[in-house]
Structures are given as structure tokens and as C-alpha cells.
């Protein structure tokens, strides 16, 4: 959607008031404003306020970052049938499994909530291949860790306060050093979910619970550049929660994990309390939301995709063993 001209909608508050959405008549503009929301992406200074059209803004950009249509797999391409899925009970060390991430060579990484220990899991058997910890002393770093992401040569953990821990992959039993980046987003919301968008070379930090009133009822996603090591002022978005909840006939949608699909380039978001999974374009349009089989998903926290498109989700044990579930892509036409 082009941005141009001096005629701008006063309901769409932008840092640069001479820039506005153009090409729409008054009626269309009024309709669009009903779906727009604002969001400051740089809380440490005068950031840019982006206006998102939740019903389709950015679809041109989404098409540019997605895979060719012949390679696309949508949420509808998964049956989410527990009878055709593979289920693994995880070792006790992962009773509180939280985030998942797939490496570039198709190895699955995971972490739990309270200690900065990273596990490699063989998702074909549910067993732990190795583990290593973040530490500058004897013991692993303690914290409330809510997401993991793997780039080409680095791994990131994010805390609920929005602190990013950057480190290299360790060998079995190794203690690795790390860098810490304070993103500043913790002042506005509690982070739960992290993913890497290779096409944009950035991390997406997803907000679960808003701390400020003007962000209530909205799902906010921040974009952090891995090259500049800071939040980007020209990326990230906010979507009204109702755009998710209306698909499952509810009023709430509490996100707990996010991942970029390797085939389509779309983002998939899981919600633990609603036992649901959503698909969203990089432009912010909610494509679909579906319920997960509640019997098999006590508290879904992590999500990842294998190279062939297999959907992998992790559930906390809630007093029992954690669980890993693999949903294959449907072979139905």
C-alpha cells in the first residue's frame, strides 16, 4: 500500500504528518481508520508511530517476503489430527519447556523458563541430544525466559522483560559467554515469544500482557535488527486482539509463542490459554485461527517448523512431563 501526499487522515497518527495512506476516497478512508491502531517502536526516544491496517495493510510487502505460491503451506494445510500426529513425552529437564527454534541445518533447540540452559532435541525421537548453558561463573543465568531464536551463527534468548541474550552454540555441557541487550520494551509489556525473520534479518519480540492502557486489547510485535542491535523504527506492528479471537468465537487471545513458516514466510502464533494457533501475514493480516486438540495440549508454549514444513509444538508439563507434538503437512488435495 503506497504512502504519499499531504492529505493525511488525522485518525492515523504518524510522526511525519505529511505522509499518509493515499488512493482511497473518504468512505474507504473512514472504513480503514476503524481498523488502524498506533504503536511507538522506539521507547527510548521519539520513535515513529506506525498505522497498521489490520485487515490487509502491507500485503504487498508480505508477497515480497513470502515464498513462491507453489511452495506455500497454509494453516489449513495441517489437519491437526492427534491420530496422525507424533507425540513425545520429554525428559524431566524439560518439564517447563518454553520456546522452540530450528537451526539452519534443521536441528531443534529448546529452553525452559527459569534457567538459561539450551537443549538440542531430536524431534524424531523426543530425546535430548545435548545441552549447554549461558554462564559467566559456575551456574547458569537465572531469569524468566520466554523465547528462543536461531540465526545463521548466533542464538538468542529473550526474557519476559524484553532483555535479549546473544550467544554462540555451545558443545555438550559447555558454559558459553553472552551479550545482553536491553530493548526497553519491558516498560510497556511482558514479552512472550521470539522468532527470527531471515528475509528481514531481524528478531520479532511478541508482547503477551500490556502494561500501558493504550496497548490493552492489542497484540503488539516489536522488530529488533540483528545488524544494528536495536529496535527498528520502520518495522513492527499492532493488531487488535479481536482479529484473532473472532475466529474462535471468543473475546480473548493470549499469545505464548511465535514462529516464521519456512515455506510461506507467514507468522504462526500459538495461544496457551485458548489452545489455539493462528496464521498471520508479515503485513499483519490474520489469515486463520484454529483450535488445537485440547486433550493433547495442556499449555502450548513453543512452536517451530521442520525443513519439510512439519509443525512442531511444545507443551509445558504442568506438573507432568512436557510434551512435543509433530503435525505433518496434510497430503490431501
CB 276 within 8 A of CB 290: yes
- Which residue has 509463542 as its cell numbers? 257
Distance in angstroms (rounded) separating the CA atoms of residues 330 and 325: 15
What's the pLDDT at 237?
Answer: 82
The x, y and z cell numbers of residue 60, run together, are 504487498
Could you give the 3-state DSSP secondary structure of residue 268? strand
Q: Measuring CA to CA, which residue among 328, 317, 292, 276 is closest to residue 110?
A: 317
What's the pLDDT at 104?
Answer: 96
What's the pLDDT at 30?
Answer: 35
What's the pLDDT at 315?
Answer: 95
Q: Where are the domains of the chain?
A: 77-327
Residues of the chain with pLDDT under 50: 1-70, 333
Could you give the 3-state DSSP secondary structure of residue 267? strand
What's the pLDDT at 71?
Answer: 57
What's the pLDDT at 45?
Answer: 34
**Topology, domain 77-327:** Neuraminidase (2.120.10)
- Name residue 325's beta-bridge partners: 87, 313
Q: Please, which residues have CB within 8 angstroms of residue 249's CB and are 6 or more apart in sequence?
A: none
Distance in angstroms (rounded) separating the CA atoms of residues 248 and 227: 38
What's the pLDDT at 75?
Answer: 95
Amino acid at each position: 500500500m503506497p504512502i504519499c501526499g499531504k492529505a493525511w487522515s488525522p485518525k492515523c497518527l504518524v510522526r511525519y504528518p505529511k505522509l499518509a495512506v493515499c488512493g482511497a476516497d473518504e468512505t474507504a478512508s473512514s472504513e480503514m481508520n476503524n481498523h488502524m491502531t498506533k504503536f511507538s517502536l522506539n521507547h527510548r526516544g521519539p520513535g515513529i508511530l506506525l498505522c497498521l491496517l489490520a485487515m490487509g495493510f502491507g500485503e504487498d510487502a508480505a508477497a515480497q517476503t513470502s515464498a513462491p505460491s507453489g511452495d506455500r503451506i497454509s494453516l489449513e494445510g495441517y489437519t491437526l489430527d492427534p491420530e496422525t500426529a507424533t507425540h513425545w513425552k520429554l525428559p524431566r529437564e524439560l518439564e517447563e519447556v518454553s520456546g522452540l527454534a530450528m537451526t539452519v541445518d534443521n536441528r531443534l533447540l529448546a529452553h525452559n523458563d527459569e534457567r538459561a540452559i539450551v537443549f538440542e532435541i531430536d524431534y524424531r525421537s523426543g530425546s535430548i541430544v545435548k545441552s549447554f548453558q549461558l554462564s559467566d561463573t559456575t551456574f547458569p543465568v537465572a531469569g524468566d525466559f520466554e523465547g528462543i531464536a536461531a540465526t545463521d551463527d548466533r542464538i538468542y534468548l529473550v526474557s519476559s522483560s524484553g532483555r535479549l541474550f546473544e550467544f554462540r552454540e555451545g558443545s555438550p555441557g559447555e558454559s558459553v559467554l553472552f551479550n545482553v541487550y536491553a530493548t526497553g520494551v519491558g516498560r510497556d509489556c511482558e514479552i512472550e515469544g521470539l522468532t527470527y525473520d531471515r528475509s528481514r534479518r531481524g528478531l520479532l519480540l511478541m508482547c503477551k500482557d500490556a502494561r500501558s492502557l493504550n496497548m490493552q486489547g492489542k497484540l503488539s510485535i516489536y522488530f529488533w535488527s540483528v545488524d544494528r542491535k536495536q529496535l527498528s523504527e520502520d518495522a513492527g506492528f499492532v493488531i487488535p486482539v479481536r482479529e484473532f479471537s473472532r475466529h474462535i468465537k471468543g473475546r480473548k487471545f493470549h499469545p505464548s509463542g511465535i514462529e516464521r513458516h519456512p515455506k510461506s514466510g507467514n507468522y504462526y502464533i500459538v495461544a496457551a490459554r485458548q489452545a489455539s494457533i493462528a496464521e498471520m501475514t508479515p503485513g499483519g493480516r490474520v489469515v486463520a485461527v484454529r483450535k488445537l486438540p485440547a486433550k493433547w495440549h495442556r499449555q502450548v508454549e513453543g512452536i517451530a517448523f521442520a525443513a519439510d514444513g512439519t509443525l512442531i509444538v511444545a507443551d509445558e508439563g504442568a506438573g507432568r512431563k512436557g510434551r512435543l507434538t509433530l503435525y505433518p503437512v496434510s497430503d490431501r488435495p
